[in-house]
Structure 1
Amino acid sequence: MSKGRRTARISVAIAAAGVVALSACAAPDDVEGPGSGNGDGDVEEVFLQLATGSTGGTYYPLGGEIAQLWGDNIDGLQVDTFATGASVQNLRALEGATEDEEAGAIDQSELIMSVNGVAMQAQNSTGPFADEPLASPDDLYAMGNIYPEVMQVVVRADSDIETIADLEGANVEIGPPGSGTEVAARQILEAYGLDPDSDINPFDSTFGDAATALGDGQVDAAFGILSVPAAGIMEVSASNDVRILAIDGDEAEQLIEEDPSYSPLTIDGGTYNGQDEDVVTLTQWATLYSTSALDEDLAYELTRVMYEEADSIGHDVGSQVVLETALDGLGDIEVHPGSARFFEEQGILD
């Protein structure tokens, strides 16, 4: 497993993606894997739900496509998605994954997408989980990375703000409460010597609304952990040139040392209108997580299909769903046994 520091460069084009709706779910306990028969020659259906993120971000549309991919390639499986406040909220949702032997069912309704750094905090009961830790922080299993989660701090190109330190006194969108964006934004601001509660005027919109506010001049800057390019930033830069603020130097080194889920990444110049030069920032990973309540054979199939059929994903980050980075930055979080079996077969996990 590779847990070291990685440097990457990303410059890709934006594409549309579909979504599906929320539904309740439960699976029979005699299902040993997707597509198992019920003794009468019929395929028993398994229903899961995937917690994604806000409608203005990447998780929501991408999660819908991945869910559809699973449904199209795994017999008897239906995965429905729903919008959430993203990482912190999703990790707390995993508390609902339990086994009920008397009812004859295993609640397999919780698959979630989360930033890997926030998942590490959940496991260690730190950050947003310090005062209210998860009931079972060790019952958190990774199923593989999906794409690089790039921190993009965007300002209008005509802004006087040149660095993160220049955000002092500014109106700044730092992300919805409990989102990976908010957690990372606070870490970054503090690394640059700014108190996110008193040295800036913080706002907590979803990135879609934050991008609109930036374009309208209602805020001076917006943080977003997003794919590259980000749809919201593309929309703003269509009518207002923008710049991405660098996160590098001693401050970035400090963040990486304190939180190994971070690694440096360069966004190519020209990715957005107005951003002419390469800019160095930080990335984490959007990762798929579940719990021990998820059937091992089903976890194997979910992982296999996500990587083997990634070319069918229409969203641009589909090209970034690759085995080479599937296990980067997971820290001490264990890989789900079903997913581990697939990674072992592929030779990327001993």
Structure 2
Amino acid sequence: MKNNMIVLALGLCASLVASSALAETRITYKSAKTGSSYYQMGVQLAEAMKAGTNGDIIVTVEESQGSVQNVMEAKARGGDYVFTTPPALIGLAQSGKAMFEGKGDPKFDEIRALFPIPSLTMHFVMSADSGVTDFAGMEGKTILLGKGSFGASEGEKYLKLFGLEGKVNLAEVELSNAVPALKNGQIDGFVTAGSWPAPNVIEAAASADVVVLSMSDEQIAQSKRSKLVIPAGTYGGQDADITTTSLPVAAFTTTAMSDDAAYELTKTFWESKAAMAEDAPWWKGVDAGLMANINTKLHPGAIRYYNEVGVELTAEQQ
């Protein structure tokens, strides 16, 4: 009897230790600059993870300067690191191309996807006072692109594609100051990429009369991005649909994360998504259909969850 009691006590202690270890699981989630929609998404995810796991997983949101930085840090971070980026950047990092040329690292091959999040949506926001209603009208105007973000690099690309390179004045102002700079006339417009509705665009439309430019089908074809329509009424004073472009985004980690942690993160995300959508409409556009946009390997823990719920995965995701 005494031996049985000792075994029982040891088993109980082991169970408590395991429970304690799970309760202390902490994740660092790196997404975007504070004030951006993607940072706010990170805050929502952190709250959802805490609630969905009864506090077993605690997520700390960390400010980022952009997707490239997020990917670069994957080579130095541990198993507690989750970050967001367009899946296309993972392929570039693993092949050492474009912005990752000369910066390749074997650690990039260990990056694994977890789940999709709202797509990056391009917004070209102009003040009504500027008189600009199309891209040609941007010539001679002062535009804020920002620095180091997808929106900045994509905005610069579009200016070249649409024949505006060297024809607009680029403001040396941080994107976080875009709305006050627009309001006081320091700039005529700004470019931002985020989910829609984008908080800084909502703020701009609420504090000043603005026009969010639409792209033609020809311009969308030139961009080689996906077409996206922002419905009329999304922003203050917006009476018509806005036709623009988008880029898929997903949450990633590395093989250093345990299978159980990756499983719980993925499971809790999908089970919490409906509740998050009640507070923020950008989550309504995320469904299993976006899984097709992830063209990289998924984490084994995430794969376990998708197999359980019957989500069909591609060969390259497994």
Q: TM-score range by the shorter chain?
A: 0.7 to 0.9
Q: Which residue of structure 1 aligns with residue 132 of structure 2?
A: 161
Aligned 1:47-196 pairs, distance under 5 A:
47-74=26-53, 76-97=56-77, 107-177=78-148, 179-195=149-165
Aligned 1:251-266 pairs, distance under 5 A:
251-256=219-224, 262-266=225-229
Q: Distance in 2 between matches of 1:271 and 1:209?
A: 22
Larger Rg: 2
Q: State the shift of 1:83 in Å.
A: 1.1
Aligned 1:194-213 pairs, distance under 5 A:
194-195=164-165, 198-203=166-171, 205-213=173-181
Q: Distance in 1 between matches of 2:49 and 2:216?
A: 38
Q: State the one-letter code of the partner of 2:259.
A: E
Q: Deviations over 1:56-88 (max 9, x none)?
A: 201212101201211222253222111111211
Q: State the shift of 1:91 in Å.
A: 1.1
Identity %: 25
Task: Give the 4+ runs in structure 1 shifted more than 4 A.
Answer: none
Q: 2:218 aligns with which of 250, 256, 266?
A: 250
Aligned 1:17-28 pairs, distance under 5 A:
none
1:294 aligns to 2:262 (yes or no): no
Q: Deviations over 1:287-324 (max 9, x none)?
A: 10111111122111101110111123233323334333
Query: Normalized against structure 2, the TM-score is what?
Result: 0.84
Q: Tell whether the 8 Å contact from 1:52 to 1:90 is kept in structure 2 after alignment.
A: yes
1:217 aligns to 2:185 (yes or no): yes
Q: Tell whether the 8 Å contact from 1:145 to 1:328 is kept in structure 2 after alignment.
A: no
Structure 1 244/69 Cα, relative in aligned 2: closer, same or farther at 3 Å? same
Q: Distance in 1 between matches of 2:13 and 2:31?
A: 31
Q: Distance in 2 between matches of 1:204 and 1:304?
A: 42
RMSD: 2.3
Q: Deviations over 1:275-294 (max 9, x none)?
A: 22112100112310111111
Q: Which residue of structure 1 aligns with residue 200 of structure 2?
A: 232
Q: 1:323 aligns with which of 288, 309, 313?
A: 288
Secondary structure of 2:303's partner? Answer: helix
Structure 1 201/131 Cα, relative in aligned 2: closer, same or farther at 3 Å? farther
Where does structure 2 lack aligned partners over 5 or more consecutive residues?
1-11, 314-318
Q: Tell whether the 8 Å contact from 1:139 to 1:291 is kept in structure 2 after alignment.
A: yes
